Amino acid sequence: MAITVVGSVAYDSIETPAGRRERCLGGAATYFSLAASYFCDVRVIAVVGEDFGPEQEAVFKSHSIDTRGIEHTAGKSFFWEGSYLENLNEARTHNTELNVFASFEPKIPEAYRDSEFLFLANIDPVLQRRVREQMPGVKLVAGDTMNYWIKDHRPALLAVLKGLDVLLINDTEARMLAGESNLVKAARTVMSFGPRFLVVKHGEYGATLFHGSGPKGKSAERTFRAPALPLEEVVDPTGAGDSFAGGFFGYLASQKQLAPGTLRRAMFYGSVMGSFACERFGTERLQEISRAEIDERFNLFRELTHLD
Amino acid sequence: MAITVVGSVAYDSIETPAGRRERCLGGAATYFSLAASYFCDVRVIAVVGEDFGPEQEAVFKSHSIDTRGIEHTAGKSFFWEGSYLENLNEARTHNTELNVFASFEPKIPEAYRDSEFLFLANIDPVLQRRVREQMPGVKLVAGDTMNYWIKDHRPALLAVLKGLDVLLINDTEARMLAGESNLVKAARTVMSFGPRFLVVKHGEYGATLFHGSGPKGKSAERTFRAPALPLEEVVDPTGAGDSFAGGFFGYLASQKQLAPGTLRRAMFYGSVMGSFACERFGTERLQEISRAEIDERFNLFRELTHLD
């Protein structure tokens, strides 16, 4: 099975208590693709500038990620600069340069059209919708968004949510989108906008999957909570959420059926890939995980949460 | 098996988004005792004023809690007034009147001295230590504390920690006590002060048990994470932490051995009792749970976290 993902491929300059890196390869689509590539075929739609060369291309290629949908254009790639010096859970943005992303018009290569899975990473909901409409045959669509689109582009975002099967956002975003502080009620409201499944990411506390709406007071029967790994050192949390999405959706795409147990294991694989992403700067760790390490960490998550 | 608990028995005036209650029965020892009473015998050491009458006594008696250690004295009982209007995860204190608690000198009834378990609820560490020293025969000692004692009474607190087997605190307290923002490292530091087991409570995100210190990077092998129940409505979070402690320690006291599986189940029972406490104001819900409800919720926590 193959996932087509649309989103940013970018350069990030990052400062954390562990150090600083200049212009490392980043972007939501990059993190997502690398994480998902351990589970299934991945095809990327993005736009990059002249600063994206064979070295960056090779990162994708070495994971058999299809880059025919990465458009090369004049100018510079999307650039983000941020730090986590005070709070590892929340980035402080110092600079965002859209560059070639400002006029991004996603084009879907013919070879991508038989993808059964589609991931709409965090970009302008107008673009998310345009891609969604061009892929009418997909079996499962998941997506991400952020506070900026929730606050200032609500109608466009609501149009996207109608066509989503799975939405992956964080606590603050879920509460903001629903206009409701209680997470269970917020989840119900968000799911009424379209998604059958809602994954709310809690950073270092893990993530919760909401599916369907159980009878009042029985919400846990329709809920699954995956932990995050208590890490000795979070080197760089950039891309942890996108890596979670990649592990989660990549695992789903590798499975024949969307059974409840499949979703639960997907939540664990999401946490697994999110935890790897934090261990090194940028995508460094995601570039070189072995399948044995993934399985080992999956089992660690089981030990961390299971009674027996 | 019996637990002796020393702590506050008090009156609380509480305001939450769900409403307001004046002078309901509260105090850490009250919440702890009620929660633990579903698992084992409980004996309380506390001090109350003339406002504590047969009605309040009956709450303890109806759960077979031994109140011979509750000293009645002239004056008014400890009183706390707080609200959770902006943030259900953190109380805003409007008023604290120590009253009879200001001159509390814990006295241990002869009948309590064969208790095998001791819980030192959140009070002045000088008093915690005095009680600990008068109960040399106990098998397992657990305790709680808070930011005030951590900041301004550190030497007295460190003396208590030396004699503790289990410390139960929240994230902020763990980080403050260790002077370290990474939770895994903070846990290791706190355990170096004495406790073999550290339970860090994350409010709506559950709690983590740290035990021993695994080799670097393998910390999860020595870690267990219990979720909190995603609740439709948190009526009143007052006492949720003490109720967690009561469920956790009460379950341990009901078991013959301190096996790893026992500790994991104790974490779940802690979360179970904490979730009940939040459902109604004060101790209302804790006063009337059935054993079947406890078992049902325990199973709900299993479903919430287990893959199969």
- CA–CA separation, A186 and A204 (whole Å): 20
β-strands A41-48, A66-72: how paired?
parallel
What is the spatial order of strands in the sheet that A117-120 belongs to?
A: A66-72, A41-48, A2-6, A117-120, A140-144, A166-170, A197-201, A207-211, A223-226
Mean pLDDT of B186-215: 90
β-strands B10-16, B19-26: how paired?
antiparallel
Q: Which amino acid is at A146?
A: M
Cα of B172 to nearest chain A Cα, Å: 13
Question: Tokens 């149009």 belong to which residue?
Answer: A159
pLDDT tens string B66-82: 999 999 999 999 999 99
Contact in structure between B170 and B241 (CB atoms under 8 Å): yes
Q: Taking Cα atoms as reference points, which of B175, B171, B177, B289 lies closest to residue B228?
A: B171
Contact in structure between B46 and B71 (CB atoms under 8 Å): yes
- CA–CA separation, A78 and B101 (whole Å): 62
Any idea how long chain B is?
308
Please give the pLDDT value at position A217.
46
- CA–CA separation, B308 and B302 (whole Å): 10
Ramachandran angles phi, psi of B204, nearest 5°: -65, -10
Ramachandran angles phi, psi of B127, nearest 5°: -70, -40
Residue B276 has pLDDT above 70, yes or no: yes
**Contact residues for A258 (Cβ-Cβ < 8 A; gap 6+):** A140, A252
Please give the pLDDT value at position A5.
98
CATH classification at residue B280: 3.40.1190.20
- CA–CA separation, B86 and B5 (whole Å): 32
Q: Which residues of A touch B (CB under 8 A)?
A: 88, 181-185, 187, 202, 204-206, 208, 216-217, 219-221, 223-225, 227, 229-234, 261, 264-265, 268, 300-308
Instruction: Residue B211: list chain A partners with CB under 8 A.
Output: none
Rounded to the nearest 5 percent, the helix, strand and coil shares of chain B are 40, 25, 35
Interchain contact, A300 vs B221, CB within 8 Å: yes
- CA–CA separation, A27 and A35 (whole Å): 13
Element (H, E) at B224: strand B223-226
Nearest CA in chain A to B206: A205
Element (H, E) at B93: strand B92-97
Residue B215 has pLDDT above 90, yes or no: no
Interchain contact, A220 vs B202, CB within 8 Å: no
Interchain contact, B303 vs A181, CB within 8 Å: no
Mean pLDDT of B150-170: 97
Q: Which residues of B touch A (CB under 8 A)?
A: 88, 181-185, 187, 202, 204-206, 208, 216-217, 219-221, 223-225, 227, 229-234, 261, 264-265, 268, 300-308
SS3 A153: coil
- CA–CA separation, A127 and B140 (whole Å): 60
- CA–CA separation, B33 and B3 (whole Å): 9
Interchain contact, A230 vs B234, CB within 8 Å: no
Residue B178 has pLDDT above 90, yes or no: yes
Neighbours of B158 (CB within 10 A): 14
pLDDT tens string B232-245: 889 999 999 999 99
Contact in structure between B93 and B80 (CB atoms under 8 Å): yes
Please give the pLDDT value at position B301.
96
Beta-bridge partner residues of A4: A43, A118
Q: Taking Cα atoms as reference points, which of A16, A9, A52 lies closest to residue A32?
A: A9
**Contact residues for A41 (Cβ-Cβ < 8 A; gap 6+):** A1, A2, A3, A64, A66
Please give the pLDDT value at position A90.
84
Contact in structure between A6 and A29 (CB atoms under 8 Å): yes
Nearest CA in chain A to B269: A307
Interchain contact, B307 vs A306, CB within 8 Å: yes
- CA–CA separation, A101 and A79 (whole Å): 9
Nearest to B219 among A205, A230, A234 (CB): A230
How far CA A43 is from CA of A61, A132, A266, A274, B275, in Å, comes to 11, 15, 20, 20, 44
Beta-bridge partner residues of B79: B11, B97
- CA–CA separation, A171 and A177 (whole Å): 10
Neighbours of B271 (CB within 10 A): 27
Q: What residues in chain A have per-residue pLDDT under 70?
A: 213-221
Please give the pLDDT value at position A213.
54
How far CA A30 is from CA of A68, A105, A290, B81, B153, in Å, comes to 14, 18, 18, 51, 50
Task: Select the residue from B84, B185, B198, B232 to test the A interface by mutation, using most A Cβ atoms within 10 A.
Answer: B232
Task: Select the residue from A170, A223, A307, A308 to test the B interface by mutation, using most B Cβ atoms within 10 A.
Answer: A307
- CA–CA separation, B238 and B219 (whole Å): 32
β-strands A78-83, A92-97: how paired?
antiparallel
Task: Please report the ipTM that was assigned to this predicted complex.
Answer: 0.91
Nearest CA in chain A to B201: A205
Residue B100 has pLDDT above 70, yes or no: yes
Contact in structure between A100 and A6 (CB atoms under 8 Å): no
Instruction: Please report which residue ranges of chain B form alpha helices under DSSP H.
Output: 28-36, 54-61, 125-134, 147-152, 154-162, 171-178, 183-192, 240-253, 260-277, 291-305
Q: Taking Cα atoms as reference points, which of A289, A266, A237, A234 lies closest to residue A140?
A: A266
Query: Which structural domain range is residue B208 located in?
Result: 2-305
Please give the pLDDT value at position B217.
47
Tokens of B117: 């378990």
Cα of A113 to nearest chain B Cα, Å: 33
Number of structural domains (chain B) is: 1
The whole-model pTM stands at 0.94
Query: Residue B222 — very low, low, confident or very high, per pLDDT cuts 50/70/90?
Result: confident
Instruction: Residue A279: list chain B partners with CB under 8 A.
Output: none
Tokens of B298: 């325990």
Interchain contact, B227 vs A230, CB within 8 Å: no
Interchain contact, B307 vs A308, CB within 8 Å: no
SS3 A257: coil
Please give the pLDDT value at position A39.
98
Interchain contact, A305 vs B305, CB within 8 Å: yes
pLDDT tens string A270-295: 999 999 999 999 999 999 999 999 99
Nearest to B205 among A205, A217, A232 (CB): A205
What is the spatial order of strands in the sheet that B92-97 belongs to?
A: B19-26, B10-16, B78-83, B92-97
Query: Residue B213 — very low, low, confident or very high, per pLDDT cuts 50/70/90?
Result: low
Query: Residue B254 — very low, low, confident or very high, per pLDDT cuts 50/70/90?
Result: very high
Contact in structure between B25 and B282 (CB atoms under 8 Å): yes
Instruction: Residue B217: list chain A partners with CB under 8 A.
Output: 232
Nearest CA in chain B to A268: B307
